[in-house]
Structure 1
Amino acid sequence: MIVHKKLANGFEYIEIKNSAAEAKIALQGAHIFHYKRADEEQILWLSEVSDFEYGKAIRGGVPICWPWFGFNENKNLPQHGFARVSMWEFIKSDESDEKSSSLIFRLTHGSQTLKMWRYKFELELHVTISDKLTMELKTTNLDCESFVLTQALHTYFKVSHISHALIKGLDKKPYLDALTWKNEIQEGDITFNQEVDRVYQEVTDEIILRDENREIHIKNSGSSSTVVWNPWIEKTLRMSAMNENAYEHMLCIESANAFDDRKVLKPQSSYTIKAVIF
């Protein structure tokens, strides 16, 4: 079942329920802010004080960072691009399987995007809600010249407590530590006892998030860079739409094309990044 809903302030989202799972997706940003398999706990983390207002990014779920990841060279432009605060068009859905629901959302260039980024484009998000959460983000260059693309599916995962969280699958991978701007090599599994902000490269294998009572698997394609982030205590206090202890119950594992994994799209060509969470 797919139902179009609005909050009291007019904020629009779509609620999806089938026999395997449920989800909620905002039209602003095509932002998945809720995903839960039947009879299981929520997989995505969502801030209790997140803004659901037009023009403000939702804190949690899966923000789409596009067409740039991080800060643009022009510091007056929004961090992580404009896709996550733009209104997307809901194109169609498919509920032919009682255990699976598929939806397509689209964003194209317009007068506002061309002020920030001079290229013409079409961006589509294909989402499948089942016992797996599948996200496919396809960029098509509709311009007459090539452009450079960096992007991320900035997934926030809910954990019982950050002290119980462990990430497997990145051992021996090189990464840029965004806190020191030094290049390092991962040794062993990732655990958390301080702020972590790293961009891993050469990632080809499945990533596993192990919590106290469950494992979550992430499989990417079209992406060889993965961002791992937890803001810890001091940064959480400085961030918008986060309670002071929010860092204890979330971490991000982001499927990305960042830094060395950036993509160059020629005119009329397309590129797709895909993440499957199960």
Structure 2
Amino acid sequence: MGSVTTKKHPNGLDYVEVNTDLCQASIFLQGAQIDFFKPANKAPLLWVSEADDYQPGNGIRGGIPVCWPWFGANPIEGYPQHGFARTSIWSLASVKMRNQLVDLIFTLKITEENKQYWPHDTEVSVLFTLGESLSVSIVNKNNCDYPINLTQALHTYFPIEDIHHLKATGFSGSKYIEFGKGPYQQDGDEVSFTRETDRVYTDLANKQLLHTPNGTIEVSRENSLSAVLWNPWIDKSQRLSRFNDNDYLTMVCHEAANVLEDEVQLAPGGSHTLTTHIRWA
């Protein structure tokens, strides 16, 4: 069988620890953010910077931050980067165990403070399914009598051993925006890394592979035609908070998203679910 227990980090953050015959994981109530997932007898599938000190109010630099209800910078000055969900305290609403799989649902109540950013009557939850693989979903429902648009992403950090030997495949036929320029047509199926990479892909196939020295990670998406591929490289690594200067060597972000022309359009009473699936191939 297995266990699901609530624990407290030494710095005060509450988290849920999962232990089964198939996997180990930990998910923080702040941000509904998973920072650790390890399938049984395999290496961990998520990366966290050793520079992160897990302080309340800061999103963890690694794992899967939940970017909601917007991705990146909001055009309104003073609004938080990547939305407010990743630093808000979520509630663990449901725990189910089935055939050694664990389903966890976290829900977010919009506080009066956050209503200044998001005055809409919506419901948002994050569903985790943990087994030999990891699935994470953002589930939106619009309770308003008017339509709502939003952008979102599951900002996944992967451990890749050595960025110089990483090959990412599955990008054929897509296009991307980078550093505010484009769209550019993807050249071939493969992406390698020799500089800062910050690409927002659209028209992207629903599965990519990260070929690392330690094995191949399969990343797939549902209800998403867009994704973000990011490595800060040398100069930006030195400017990032809670990030060591050489961390760029051992991580890459490949994020399931609904951004640009792929933004979510919720009709009155409508719902939408963005899902990412992650496993060792």
1:83 corresponds to which letter in structure 2? A
How far the C-alpha of 1:112 sits from its partner, in A, is 1.6
Q: Percent identity?
A: 36
* Separation of aligned partners in 2, 1:13 and 1:205: 30
Equivalent residues of 2:206, 2:224 under 8 A apart: no
Equivalent residues of 1:176, 1:184 under 8 A apart: yes
1:5 corresponds to which letter in structure 2? K
For residues 178-198 of structure 1, the C-alpha deviation after alignment (integer angstroms, 9 at most, x for no partner) is x25122111120000100000
Corresponding residue for residue 202 of structure 1 = 203
Alignment of 1:170-249 (within 5 A): 170-177=171-178, 179=179, 181-188=181-188, 189-249=190-250
TM-score, length of structure 2 as denominator length: 0.95
* Separation of aligned partners in 1, 2:31 and 2:180: 31
Equivalent residues of 1:121, 1:143 under 8 A apart: yes
Alignment of 1:1-278 (within 5 A): 1-98=3-100, 100-177=101-178, 179=179, 181-188=181-188, 189-278=190-279
Equivalent residues of 1:224, 1:261 under 8 A apart: yes
SS in 1 for 2:199: strand
How far the C-alpha of 1:223 sits from its partner, in A, is 0.4
For structure 2, the residue ranges without an aligned partner over 5 or more in a row are none
2:221 corresponds to which letter in structure 1? N
How far the C-alpha of 1:8 sits from its partner, in A, is 2.2
* Separation of aligned partners in 1, 2:54 and 2:122: 27
TM-score, length of structure 1 as denominator length: 0.96
How far the C-alpha of 1:23 sits from its partner, in A, is 0.7
Give the CA RMSD over aligned residues.
1.1
1:48 corresponds to which letter in structure 2? E
Equivalent residues of 2:148, 2:267 under 8 A apart: yes
Moved more, 162-171 or 262-271: 262-271
* Separation of aligned partners in 2, 1:212 and 1:96: 34
* Separation of aligned partners in 2, 1:268 and 1:52: 37
How far the C-alpha of 1:145 sits from its partner, in A, is 2.2
Moved more, 25-34 or 166-175: 166-175
Equivalent residues of 1:159, 1:165 under 8 A apart: yes
SS in 2 for 1:248: helix
Total equivalences in the alignment: 276
For residues 102-139 of structure 1, the C-alpha deviation after alignment (integer angstroms, 9 at most, x for no partner) is 10100132312211122121111110110110111101
2:169 corresponds to which letter in structure 1? K
Equivalent residues of 1:216, 1:277 under 8 A apart: yes
How far the C-alpha of 1:163 sits from its partner, in A, is 0.7
Equivalent residues of 2:23, 2:38 under 8 A apart: yes
* Separation of aligned partners in 1, 2:144 and 2:60: 30
For structure 1, the residue ranges without an aligned partner over 5 or more in a row are none
Equivalent residues of 2:174, 2:205 under 8 A apart: no
